[in-house]
Chains A and B, each alone.
Chain A
Amino acid sequence: MFRSQRLALKYFAAAMTLFGIMVAAGLLASTYYVHDGFLLNKLDFSVAKMLHIDTMVIWLLMGFIGSVYWFLPIELERETEGIKLAEIMFWIFCAAVAVVAAVFIFVQYGPATEMSLWFVNQGRKYVEAPRWAALGVTLVVLVFVYNVVATAIKAKKITGIIGVLMVDLIPLFGLYLIAFPSITNLSEDQYWWWWLVHLWVEATWEILIGCIMALALLQLLGTARRIVETWLYIEVALVLGTGILGLGHHYFWIGTPDYWLSIGGFFSALEPLPLLGMVVHAVYDAGAHRMKTTNKPAFYWVMAEAFGNFIGGGVFGFMMTLPQINLFTHGTQWTVSHGHFAFWGAYGCGVIAVIYLALQKARASAQLDGRLWKWSFALLNIGLVGMVGALLVAGIAQAFYERAMGGSTLQAFMQGQSNVWFVQGIVMRAIFGLVFALGYVVLMYDLLTIGKRRVAAAALKPHVAGGPA
Chain B
Amino acid sequence: MSAAQMLSTSLLLGTFVLLAGCYGLLYCLARLRGSGRLGRAAAAAYLFQGLATGLLALGSLELWWKGLLVASFVAFAAIPPLTWRFLERLHAAEEQHS
Contacts and interface: CB of A to CB of B under 8 A. Distances in A.
Q: Do chains A and B touch in the complex (CB under 8 A)?
A: yes
Interface of A: 224, 226-227, 230, 262, 265-266, 269-270, 272-273, 276-277, 279-281, 283-284, 287-288, 310-311, 314-316, 318-320, 322, 324-325, 328-329, 396, 399-400, 404-405
Contacts of A311: 18, 21
Contact of B6 (A227, A277, A325): A325
B24 A280 contact: yes
Contact of A322 (B65, B80, B83): B65
B20 A227 contact: no
Contact of B7 (A272, A287, A396): A396
A318 B16 contact: yes
A400 B91 contact: no
Contacts of B21: 276, 279, 310-311, 314-315
11 contacts: A230-B90, A266-B68, A277-B79, A280-B84, A283-B28, A284-B83, A287-B32, A310-B21, A328-B1, A328-B3, A396-B7
A266 B27 CA distance: 27
Nearest to B21: A310
B11 A319 contact: yes
Contact of A276 (B31, B80, B98): B80
B41 interface: no
A20 B95 CA distance: 44
B35 interface: no
Contacts, number: 109
Interface of B: 1-3, 6-7, 9-11, 13-14, 16-18, 20-21, 24-25, 27-29, 31-32, 61-62, 64-65, 68-69, 72, 75-76, 79-80, 83-84, 87, 90-91, 94, 97-98
B57 to A, nearest CB: 14
A279 B79 CA distance: 10
B32 A322 contact: no
A227 B91 contact: yes
A404 B28 contact: no
A226 B94 contact: yes
Given A280-B79, A280-B84, A324 B61 contact: yes
Contacts of A310: 21
Contacts of B65: 265, 322, 324
Given A276-B80, A281-B83, A315-B17, A269 B24 contact: no
A319 B16 CA distance: 9
B13 A322 contact: yes
Contacts of A283: 24-25, 28-29, 32
Nearest to B62: A324
Contact of B94 (A224, A316, A400): A224
- Which of B1, B11, B14, B61 counts the most chain A CB atoms within 10 A? B14
A279 B64 CA distance: 28
A458 to B, nearest CB: 31
A310 B80 CA distance: 14
A328 B6 contact: yes
Contact of A280 (B64, B69, B80, B97): B80
Contacts of B3: 328, 400, 404-405
Contacts of A328: 1, 3, 6
B11 A324 contact: no
B10 A329 contact: yes
B85 to A, nearest CB: 10
Contacts of B69: 269
Nearest to B88: A284
A397 B2 CA distance: 14
Contacts of A280: 24, 27-28, 79-80, 83-84, 87
Contacts of B10: 319-320, 325, 329, 396, 399
A315 B52 CA distance: 14
A325 to B, nearest CB: 5
A415 to B, nearest CB: 14
A272 B68 CA distance: 13
Contacts of A400: 3, 6-7
